[in-house]
Amino acid sequence: MSAPSFFEWLTTSPWANAMNGPEWAFPVVQSLHFIGFAFSIGTIAIVDLRLLGLAMRRQSAAELAADLDPWTRLGLALMLITGPLMFSADAVAYHNNPSFQFKMVVLALALLFHFTIHRKATRSGVLPLAAKFAGGMSLLLWTAVVAGGRMIAFV
């Protein structure tokens, strides 16, 4: 199956039909997407601010990262379910949208960074400068993901 026909097929899938059905379906799924990133990006940002030494200084970064991890994962799961649902509803247009393409690239980088360097930086005994780099870089990557997402509707 060639790429365009895959995206065309997606728009005719049952879940795409459900998304394009009742008027409330899309905004409700979008709202769940927002709640998903409040959980995921919101908890990652708490760890980032700790790595930068700006918040939650009475806890160690390792302790915070461990305690928040389940909620980060819950948020990521919610985002990765609601995101593709919205994508399916208008797959051909989205996959040609430059903002969407930008968002997917930075999302891949942000996730890769999160589960590799960011995770290591929360361990005890990491150089302060390395921790700060990881925190700042993570904030920057997730900010780019949100900004790219917002721009999809305007491009």
Partner 1 sequence: MSIPSLLQWVEGTDLSTAIREGALPYPILGGVHLLAIALFGGMVLMTDFRLLGWAMRRTAVPDVVRQFQAWKRAGFVVLVASGLLLAWAEPLKLYRSPSFWVKMALLALVGVHALVFRLRVYGKSARLDVAETVEGKLAAAISLVLWGGLIVSGRLIAYDA
Instruction: Give residues with Cβ within 8 angstroms of 50, minimum separation 6.
Output: 56, 57, 59, 61, 64, 135
Contact assessment for residue 36 and residue 44, using Cβ atoms and an 8 Å cutoff:
no
φ, ψ for residue 12, nearest 5 deg: -105, 0
Of 6 and 54, which CB lies nearer to partner 1 in the complex structure?
Answer: 54
By CB neighbour count within 10 A (0-12 exposed, 13-18 middle, 19+ buried), where does 34 fall? middle
- Segment near partner 1 (CB under 8 A); pick from 62-70, 83-91, 114-122, 125-133: 62-70
Is residue 59 part of the contact set for partner 1 (CB under 8 A)?
yes
Does residue 43 belong to the site contacting partner 1 (CB under 8 A)? yes
Question: How many residues bind partner 1, per CB under 8 A?
Answer: 38
Q: Is 62 among the residues that bind partner 1 (CB under 8 A)?
A: no
CA distance 103 to 148: 5
Q: Which is nearer to partner 1, 40 or 88 (CB)?
A: 40
Binding region for partner 1 (CB under 8 A): 23-24, 26-28, 30-31, 34-35, 37-39, 41-46, 49, 55-59, 63, 67-68, 71, 139, 142-143, 146-147, 149-151, 153-154
